[in-house]
Structure 1
Amino acid sequence: MARQLDYSTIREIFRRFHAADPEPKGELEHVNVYTLVVAVALSAQATDAGVNKATRALFQIADTPEKMLALGEDGLIAHIKTIGLFRNKAKNVIKLSRILVEQYGGEVPSSRAALQSLPGVGRKTANVVLNMWWRMPAQAVDTHIFRVGNRTGICPGRDVDAVERAIEDHIPAEYQLHAHHWLILHGRYTCKARKPACAACLIRDLCQYEDKTL
């Protein structure tokens, strides 16, 4: 785990991220907040590309909790069986859809606590929804952010909660809204797990990683 970078270095890192991509976007496809919740829930231990491939047809016919309940668990499984853990995920999507209809009038709540009370929705999923839909500076720490945070020294921590706190404590406020997207995309395409592309990295001169590739 790298040492925590100082504030001025982190500010420069995010200045560069912002200059290269001022409005980074999440890669999970969705048509409304409900389909965003479903897509993020389905993405656990799966790739965004794999989820998108499965949900394009699904969201054309089931883009509300009411329509998802009408489709039913078997109908949902037929669409998402290419995604890992699809049976358990299908159960959770049907359960959360029923809760949304019965307790929230078919609307997705905008509080973290309410979101986390839904089956299959943990803190990371709730933070993604809060950030992407309601544009709150919530930090969804996935494996990419955990790796980048610890490898670079931007937001080191021994677990995802510690990394989330480090983001909130050390990244300048004006960059908080997009911080987790910049870090995810950096981890997905540049600071990759097995062979980071250090030669093409925007922040290689500021990064604490000792084993930089040539």
Structure 2
Amino acid sequence: MKEVKLINKKQCDEVFKILFQTWPQAQCELLHNNHFQLLIAVVLSAQATDKSVNKALEPLLQQSPFFSAADLIEMGEESFLKVIKSIGLAPTKARNCFKLAKILQEKYLGDVPLEREKLEELPGVGRKTANVILNVLCNLPTMAVDTHVERLSQRIGLVLQTKDRLKIEEELLKRVPQKYAVKAHHILIFHGRYHCVARKPKCELCPIEHLCLKVGVTH
């Protein structure tokens, strides 16, 4: 089996410089007006698209812009399930959101704790969800590895091929230039979502085509 090489540090720096210029608007696209809404939106986005989560939550947030943990508890799990029924794994996600709302209300007066350990203790909140919360709300240079980040980081040659998302996260945190670290995962997500798609990526129009190793790309 032919060994796959990585792009070097200079090329890696150039990749992020170009992508940073290409996607200056890259940011979290989940609708939210407060910390609690972002938390439940990220929980709901597991194995679902941001678009589907926004579509499900938008009517609720229009009706109740300051929707909180206390509001979800008052609404009840079954009623919340009806709101999110179009999202994959809705029953499990409704149960987790209701449970975490009760914990937030009881332990943190309804606030979302901004510490990794406390976040990951909440139902339905794993490392990736905690990474998103800490990045968006605290501006920390975390790396939330979703399907886009996993695909692009290996396709471009930023990390070696692996299914281990924690390993991908750790390697990216080592290789991403510090000045792009806070926005790096949003940049990769935007490029993967809108350009370097899973099937038939638009290589001929890609601003980093000359740097990309195109691992696994077939046309």
TMscore range, shorter length: over 0.9
1:11-160 map, 5 Å: 11-59=13-61, 60-61=63-64, 63-158=67-162, 159-160=164-165
Structure 1: how far apart are the matches of 2:183 and 2:4?
Answer: 23
Work out whether 1:202 is the aligned partner of 2:207. Answer: yes
Do the aligned partners of residues 7 and 197 (structure 1) sit closer, same or farther apart at CA in structure 2, a change above 3 Å counting? same
Residues matched between the structures, number: 214
Do the aligned partners of residues 211 and 161 (structure 1) sit closer, same or farther apart at CA in structure 2, a change above 3 Å counting? closer
SS at match of 1:133: helix
Q: 1:199, 1:213 within 8 Å by CA — same for their partners in 2?
A: no
TM-score (norm. length: structure 2): 0.93
Structure 1 position 211, deviation (Å):
5.9
Which residue identity lines up with residue 57 of structure 2 in the other structure?
T
Structure 1: how far apart are the matches of 2:36 and 2:119?
Answer: 11
Do the aligned partners of residues 210 and 127 (structure 1) sit closer, same or farther apart at CA in structure 2, a change above 3 Å counting? closer
Structure 2: how far apart are the matches of 1:191 and 1:2?
Answer: 20
Structure 1: how far apart are the matches of 2:77 and 2:114?
Answer: 26
Q: CA RMSD in A?
A: 1.6
1:7 paired residue number:
9
Gaps of 5+ in 1: none
**4+ runs of 1 displaced by more than 4 Å?**
210-214
TM-score (norm. length: structure 1): 0.95
Structure 1 position 4, deviation (Å):
2.1
Instruction: Find the partner of 2:191 among 172, 176, 186.
Output: 186
Identity across the alignment (%):
42
Work out whether 1:177 is the aligned partner of 2:179. Answer: no
SS at match of 1:177: coil
Cα distance per residue 1:46-104 (max 9 Å; x no partner):
11111000001223436210001001011101110000110010000000000000011
After TM superposition, the structure 1 stretch with the greater mean CA deviation from structure 2, 113-122 or 157-166, is 157-166
Structure 2: how far apart are the matches of 1:116 and 1:149?
Answer: 25
SS at match of 2:30: coil
Q: 1:139, 1:164 within 8 Å by CA — same for their partners in 2?
A: yes
Q: Which has the higher contact order (CA 8 A, sep 6+)?
A: 2
Structure 1 position 20, deviation (Å):
2.0
Gaps of 5+ in 2: none
Structure 1: how far apart are the matches of 2:184 and 2:202?
Answer: 20
Cα distance per residue 1:108-145 (max 9 Å; x no partner):
00111111110001100110111111111111001111
Structure 1 position 212, deviation (Å):
5.2
Which residue identity lines up with residue 201 of structure 2 in the other structure?
P
Cα distance per residue 1:5-54 (max 9 Å; x no partner):
21111111111112223341111111111100000000111111110000
Structure 1: how far apart are the matches of 2:69 and 2:26?
Answer: 28
